[in-house]
């Protein structure tokens, strides 16, 4: 399978614990995005990387959230001191940016579903 993969697929944690999610993008893709999706809503942008550089962070990404992509390949998203409001599906997407940047298409992984008790 050469698509985007995410691990774990499900995570149940207690409030106050730290959690870390991993995303492996499609191998030749240079951009990697993190989104959060809650029930009945579309995905909301959190942050993205171009290679290893984190270029943008949404204001949704509080200080408790941190993302890394140390070698420009896989990425991790860590949530510290989880809160019940963090319960959501965390989606990763990757893309290969063309020179004109108009036809960038993002491909999503299966997501990590987080439940904070």
Partner 1 sequence: RKEVEQDPGPFNVPEGATVAFNCTYSNSASQSFFWYRQDCRKEPKLLMSVYSSGNEDGRFTAQLNRASQYISLLIRDSKLSDSATYLCVVNMIRAAGNKLTFGGGTRVLVKP
Binding site for partner 1 (CB under 8 A): 31, 33, 35, 40-45, 48, 50, 55-56, 91, 97, 101-111, 113
Q: How far is the CB of 28 from partner 1 (least distance, A)?
A: 17
| 18 close to 80: Cβ distance less than 8 angstroms | yes
> Could you count the other beta carbons within 10 Å of the beta carbon of residue 57?
16
Q: How far is the CB of 111 from partner 1 (least distance, A)?
A: 5
Q: Smaller CB distance to partner 1: residue 17 or 34?
A: 34
What lies within 8 Å, CB to CB, of 77 at 6+ separation is: 20, 21, 23, 34, 46, 65, 66, 67, 90, 92
Q: How far is the CB of 5 from partner 1 (least distance, A)?
A: 11
């Amino acid at each position: 399978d050469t698509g985007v993969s995410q691990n774990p697929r499900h995570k149940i944690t207690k409030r106050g614990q730290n959690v870390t999610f991993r995303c492996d993008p499609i191998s030749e893709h240079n951009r990697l995005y993190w989104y959060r999706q809650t029930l009945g809503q579309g995905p909301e942008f959190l942050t993205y990387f171009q290679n290893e550089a984190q270029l943008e962070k949404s204001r949704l990404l509080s200080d408790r959230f941190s993302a890394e992509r140390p070698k420009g390949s896989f990425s991790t998203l860590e949530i510290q001191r989880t809160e019940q409001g963090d319960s959501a599906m965390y989606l990763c997407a990757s893309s290969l940016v063309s020179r004109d940047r108009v036809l960038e298409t993002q491909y999503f992984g299966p997501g990590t579903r987080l439940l904070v008790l």
